[in-house]
A and B are shown apart, each in its own frame.
Chain A
Amino acid sequence: MEENRKRYKETFAQALEISAEEAETAEFQKTEKWDSIGHMMLIAALEEAFSVEFEPEEMLTFDSFGKGIGLLQEKGIAI
């Protein structure tokens, strides 16, 4: 669980080019690099890191660091 949490934070921060601390408070359209393109890059990075696929509806509701954790939990990832 801890390992997944760490991987999530690292992937998140790397995809959006922000620090791990900044990642925790990141919000779609409010964090500088988390624009429309950043969003797709973040989704691609998380799909690769956790071998999951996001549904279009999920991509649209994914707008904060915490929301991403919830979506991964729904996919059976212990995080």
Chain B
Amino acid sequence: MSVISVKFAVFLLLAAVLYYTAPSRWRWKILLAESLCFYLICSVRAILFFCITAVSIWYAALRMDRINEEYPKELAACEAEGKKMTRQEKLELKAREDKQKRKILLLLLALNFGILFFIKYGEIPCRILNGVCAALQIGYELEYGGVMVPLGISYYTFQATGYLIDIYRRKMRAQRSLPRLTLFFVFFPQLVQGPISRYDELADQLYRPHDFCFRNIRSGVELMAWGLFKKLVISDRIAIMINAIFGAPEKYGGCYLLFATVFSMLQLYTDFSGGIDMMRGAAEIFGIYPPENFVRPFFARDQSEYWRRWHISLNNWWRDYIFYPLTLSKTFNRLGRHARKLLGEQFGKKLPVLMAVIVIRVINSIWHGATGASILGGLYYGVLLALSFYFENTIKEATVRLRIRTDCISWRIFQTVRTFLLIAAPRLTSQAQSLSDGARYVKALFREWNPWIFFDGSLFSLGVSRAQFTVVMIALLLLFAVSLLQERGIVIRESLARQNLVFQGAVMLCFLYAVVLFGTYGSGYDASAFTYAQF
């Protein structure tokens, strides 16, 4: 079921009516039934994979919780006997319990990420095996039949494993009820493309019965309309232009590719954040407020700030569950100590952090697609981020020595534009299927210098007319203005909520009319094609 469809609108309406008319104590159960219904409609053949994840994580969390309970119990028992444990004894007891839990955790991570890897990248081992067989001239070829990718498998796997790690870290108690935990994994608005919520942030909201509240409905519909605007008016129209250029780099070289690279970044942002806005809006209708996933990333002034603003829930997941443990791990710190001897004190000390940063970005790129071009893109972002960390102080010192004013708007604009361009650069090869394919785009970029295409109307021959191009530009200006106001702390929806109801309704109607009038849809348009829905 596509999110941009009448079917989904009807489903959402029915779901909300059922939810609010049910007795309070049944509401979370209704939400669970609706979410499972949504899952079955979208992904019935893959339900087994979801069941394995839900049941295995539920059971493992309970086991770990029991082990977590033993520590305070043993301490209390000791005190009851009149003995007092030394710090060393306490540490030993804790280490023994951690060892038991670690076994369970590793097994469950292997199982769940194994399923994810098998479904998303099962073809790769087959390709490698066939390549080896061909090289050794063994007449054997393994055929990969393919597996249907379950709806939101990455998102619920990340949520479920994050929950388990939190239990492992004694951050909270395990949820004893399997249906309740299942609702946390399968809550339908966030199943399509995230955000990846944390149990302690979302669970209570899911289980609490929310009474009908007009404010929630209005706020949800407004957010959904804004997401629809980003997706239909901006993203999908830009997609037509950039697909025309990236589809024929032999024909469109030089500044065409420059234009496509920059606009591809804007397209990705409006597509993904538009989708997230729609899903958050749908959740708000039920009185549930999932976390923000984007905080105006193109206003970031350096690399690390950018990654704190972009796909926040995933980047926080990488940070909390991989970056910190890796950076603080004994292996990485041992490597750092060796590097201090070999490469100098300063570099050696920073090495664990720099390595962890690069590893995270490469893993992130593999998650996005295990192609050579994608992994190279991840490596680029990793090295860029590592360099920005490494030279953080040097740059600060240089600006002081060179007497560059850093408290003025021109410096801030320079930093923002620089960050955007460095982040957007790999989009040049975003549609490349391999490294050699990526090289084709780079060659085409430098093949010719044709800046006149920005002025002579050439851009209107890319599947979008002059009028449609103007609509995209005005829509982008509107998005920029709204983002600027939000950057200054103005919450537009709250300002609108302070106006009279008639005015609010008129604004909403005008906005929806504009989306209908200027949006990209109709025959030949695939409304289901959210970039991040494929994960």
A-contact 0/1 string along B322-346, CB 8 Å cutoff: 0010011000010000000000000
Query: Shortest Cβ distance from A73 into chain B, in angstroms?
Result: 15
Bound CA span A36–B393, Å: 10
Task: Across the interface, name the chain A residue whose C-beta is closest to B329.
Answer: A44
Bound CA span A36–B353, Å: 9
Bound CA span A56–B320, Å: 6
Contact B393 A35 (CB under 8 A): yes
Residues of B within 8 A of A40 (CB): 327-328, 352-353
Bound CA span A59–B328, Å: 12
Which A-B residue pairs are the 10 nearest by beta carbons? A56-B320, A37-B353, A35-B392, A37-B350, A40-B353, A40-B327, A44-B328, A36-B389, A37-B389, A56-B324
The B contact surface, by secondary structure, is helix
Task: Across the interface, name the chain B residue whose C-beta is closest to A59.
Answer: B324
Can you list 7 A-B pairs with a CB-CB distance of less than 8 A? A35-B392, A37-B349, A37-B392, A40-B352, A41-B350, A44-B327, A44-B333
Interface residue B304 (Cβ < 8 Å from any Cβ of A): yes
Residues of B within 8 A of A32 (CB): 393
Residues of B within 8 A of A10 (CB): none
Query: Shortest Cβ distance from B177 into chain A, in angstroms?
Result: 25
Interface size class of B (residues with CB under 8 A): 10 to 19
Residues of A within 8 A of B (CB): 32-33, 35-37, 40-41, 43-44, 47, 51, 53, 55-56, 59
Contact B392 A51 (CB under 8 A): no
Bound CA span A36–B352, Å: 12
Contact A37 B333 (CB under 8 A): no
Contact A55 B353 (CB under 8 A): no
Contact A41 B349 (CB under 8 A): yes
B residues 334-371 touching A (CB-CB < 8 Å)? 349-350, 352-354
Interface residue B7 (Cβ < 8 Å from any Cβ of A): no
Residues of B within 8 A of A (CB): 91, 169, 171, 304, 319-320, 324, 327-328, 333, 349-350, 352-354, 389-390, 392-393
Query: Shortest Cβ distance from B181 into chain A, in angstroms?
Result: 22
Task: Across the interface, name the chain B residue whose C-beta is closest to A78.
Answer: B87
Contact B390 A37 (CB under 8 A): yes
Task: Across the interface, name the chain A residue whose C-beta is closest to B320.
Answer: A56
Contact B320 A36 (CB under 8 A): no
Bound CA span A18–B390, Å: 19
- A36-B304, A40-B328, A44-B328 as given contacts; A56 in contact with B319, CB under 8 Å: yes
Q: A37-B353, A40-B353, A44-B352 are in contact. List 18 more A-B contacts (CB 8 A).
A: A33-B393, A35-B389, A35-B392, A35-B393, A36-B353, A36-B392, A37-B354, A37-B390, A37-B392, A40-B327, A40-B328, A41-B349, A41-B350, A43-B328, A44-B328, A44-B333, A53-B169, A56-B320
Residues of A within 8 A of B392 (CB): 35-37
Query: Shortest Cβ distance from A7 into chain B, in angstroms?
Result: 13
- A36-B353, A37-B353, A41-B349 as given contacts; A47 in contact with B320, CB under 8 Å: no
Bound CA span A32–B400, Å: 13
- A37-B390, A56-B319 as given contacts; A51 in contact with B169, CB under 8 Å: no
Residues of B within 8 A of A56 (CB): 319-320, 324
Residues of A within 8 A of B353 (CB): 36-37, 40-41
Bound CA span A43–B319, Å: 15
Bound CA span A47–B352, Å: 15
Residues of A within 8 A of B333 (CB): 44
Bound CA span A69–B195, Å: 34
Task: Across the interface, name the chain B residue whose C-beta is closest to A51.
Answer: B91
Bound CA span A43–B352, Å: 13
Bound CA span A56–B392, Å: 22
Residues of A within 8 A of B389 (CB): 35-37
Task: Across the interface, name the chain A residue whose C-beta is closest to B350.
Answer: A37
Bound CA span A51–B88, Å: 10
Query: Shortest Cβ distance from B391 into chain A, in angstroms?
Result: 10
Task: Across the interface, name the chain A residue whose C-beta is closest to B385.
Answer: A36
Residues of B within 8 A of A59 (CB): 324
Residues of B within 8 A of A47 (CB): 328
- A37-B353, A43-B328, A44-B327 as given contacts; A55 in contact with B390, CB under 8 Å: no
Residues of A within 8 A of B352 (CB): 40, 44
Query: Shortest Cβ distance from B36 into chain A, in angstroms?
Result: 32
